[in-house]
Amino acid sequence: MDWNDIALFAAVARHGALAPAAKETGASVPTLSRRMKALEARLGRRLFLHGPQGYATTADGRALLARAGRMEAAAASVAAWAGAAARPRVRVTAGTWSALSLARHVGEWWSPDAPWIPEFVHCDLDMDVARREVDVGLRNRRPAQPWLAGRRTGTTEFAVYGADPGVHGWIGAGDDAARTPSAAWVAARHGDAVTTAANDPRLALSLAEAGLGRVVLPTGVGDASALLRLGDPIPELRSEEWLVSHHEARHDPPIRAALDALGAWLSARGGAT
């Protein structure tokens, strides 16, 4: 069985004539006529009634058309799957809070018909853009390496938060947590008052909401939580936000599209958080 003949048959059966089926399929009218006759001969069934009304389907023709419809649906599904697989993934890395913000608002800077698919690589440490561990990184400083290109997209501020002003203990970073500037600030200034620790900022937020201690958070995160801000933003933790990529890889069409989409969205918001 030639599956292409089934597709041609379906077009002729739907239109009930050769000329419009030829326009749909790109096959000539004589070719369609010849292949429909050959298909009927192979199947040993009459599929069409030929007459003034064109190509009207017989009972066998209608039965085959129903089966052909399922084949066409399966082919369309395979084509969609193949098309999705063919679109390149662009690996984007960011710290905890920035990565969550990007994921929650993904529909604002990416659409399913975009020529690339975002793949998130969460890490509070700088992954290697130069070695293509990731394609795009969201960093808290201007890139210093000459092989990296960067675009400033906003500013991030941090402040102290707590369940209420009466909470005086602090929540520090666990021994296996990334040594972020905010974690270092807490350790340097309030290390003696740390009552508990967490190796994930999201856990630290939950502990603070439970009243176990004060926590340092980006103001965009802390102000949206159930916690109270217990002071002004901390000047020494104020940082720039930069969208970083390899200076050559940034010209690859999918990475260029990702940089443009992320850059526009981040700049409009003043940052990820």
**pLDDT value at residue 126:** 53
Tell me the angle at which helices 201-209 and 96-104 cross, rounded to the nearest 10 degrees.
90
Contact call for residues 177 and 267 (beta carbons, < 8 A) = no
Instruction: Quickly state the pLDDT bin for 180 (edges 50, 70, 90).
Output: confident
d(CA 136, CA 126) in angstroms, rounded, equals 11
Higher pLDDT, 41 or 77: 41
Using the structure block, give the residue that is written with the tokens 């960011």.
94
Mean pLDDT of the chain: 89
**pLDDT value at residue 178:** 67
Tens-place pLDDT, residues 87-127: 889 999 998 899 999 999 999 999 988 989 999 987 655 54
Contact call for residues 149 and 248 (beta carbons, < 8 A) = no
